[in-house]
Amino acid sequence: MRVMNVCLRMLVVVMALAVGVPTVRVMAQGATATAGTRATGTVKSVSGTGLTLTTTAGQDVVVTVPDAVKVLMVAPGSKDLKSATPGALSDVAVGDKVLVVGDPAASGPGLTAARVIVMKAGAIAATHQAEEAAWSKGGGGIVKSVDAAAGTIVIASGLKTVTVVVMPQTIVRRYAGGSVRFADAKVSTIAEIQKGDQLRVRGTKSADGSTITADELVTGMFRNYSGLIASVDATAGTVTLKDLTTKKSVTVAVGANSDVRRIPPMMAERVAARMKGTGAAGTAGAGGTAGMGGTAGAAGTAPDGAARERSAGSDLSQMLSRLPTETLAGLKVGDAVMIVATSPSSDTETPMAVTLLVGVDAILRASPTGQTMTLSPWSLGGGAGEGGDTGGGGR
């Protein structure tokens, strides 16, 4: 019983962490049904005598739920079972997240439950929406300076600077070098944040938006690449290109968590026109703004070239979640791509793509050096907030 209770507590913590992320993405930890173990996953089907769940490994586990077995309902964010409420098998629905503890079935594959813990899909979705709103109202950008002693970080966010105030209770996380998942971000400290890092923050903004008192922030060192694909290795899961900025050949891994999108040619042309300051998308009226990401200069004037490109880049990052998805198999030699990737901790590691955008021929023609037109790593899972480089973190 003690082992069972420890397992229950650990899994509730895991499930709580899974829903406390800025991207709308929940991952349960799958396990094969073996003696004295547990199975967690998403409910695939429910019957009068049990349920079938699917683990993250794609394995279906058939669970028999005897009448006397306790079914407990827990809220997203729960770290123990103190607030759990009694339920019944009839309360479980397809799409819910469940943790089952029990013993293997007497014959054949499956599990006979001793206890079932349920997290409702609707409650998870509501929690995600609240989390997403909190991150969207925060901010993000490139770290310009860090004062660990004073607990302040200055970031460049779009066309302005913002001071992030880190309190003793602020949760600080840092992306792992080889992962693009927020769930893999490690608990960190302000001392580990470096100039040039990308930072995302949720918290309370000052009235003028120049300061954010952070409830939570996440940082990481990311790299931006752009150019034409020179080769695709489907077996290794990599693409190789000559980066426009460094003029060097670089190989980037494209994994299961990489967000691969294709931009339609006409949309790419519109972004390119905006970068050049031509067309309706690239001009600002008197006293107006130059689109979603940047503010116009003096009344009746458009931003300078670099500002236009940063502003267009902000808009492009916001569009990503609405663009058609693509796969590694759909990429070919000669395709024009823009990539934001993790920064490896050593020269021998391969950077992992967070986002890969293909079909950007017109955009690269408008920014031939690739120096200012870049993607934001926070584009996964949501739109951007004010100031540019904000959005659902990736992850």
Fold classification of 2-129 (topology level): OB fold (Dihydrolipoamide Acetyltransferase, E2P) (2.40.50)
Average pLDDT score over residue span 323-341: 94
Confidence of residue 177 (pLDDT cuts 50, 70, 90): low
Q: Which two tokens stand for residue 80?
A: 């123990």
Q: In which residue ranges of the chain is CATH 2.40.50.140 found? A: 2-129
H/E element holding 5?
helix 2-19
Contact 214, 201 (CB under 8 A): yes
Region of poorest pLDDT, from 22-36, 76-90, 352-366, 369-383: 22-36
Confidence of residue 47 (pLDDT cuts 50, 70, 90): very high
Would the pLDDT of 34 be above 70? no
> One-letter amino acid identity for 268?
A
Name the more confident of 286 and 147.
Answer: 147
- pLDDT the model gives residue 374: 65
As a whole number of angstroms, the distance between CA 312 and CA 204 comes to 27
As a whole number of angstroms, the distance between CA 27 and CA 41 comes to 8
- pLDDT the model gives residue 140: 83
Name the more confident of 58 and 353.
Answer: 353
Would the pLDDT of 11 be above 60? no
As a whole number of angstroms, the distance between CA 201 and CA 36 comes to 41
Contact 39, 55 (CB under 8 A): yes
- What pLDDT digit, counting tens, does each position of 127-175 carry? 878 877 777 777 888 899 999 999 999 998 767 899 999 999 999 999 8
- pLDDT the model gives residue 369: 66
pTM reported for the whole predicted model: 0.56
How many C-beta atoms lie closer than 10 Å to residue 28's C-beta?
21
Would the pLDDT of 276 be above 60? yes
As a whole number of angstroms, the distance between CA 119 and CA 41 comes to 10
Q: Which two tokens stand for residue 203?
A: 């918290």
135-221: CATH number: 2.40.50.320
- pLDDT the model gives residue 76: 87
Q: In which residue ranges of the chain is CATH 2.40.50.320 found? A: 135-221
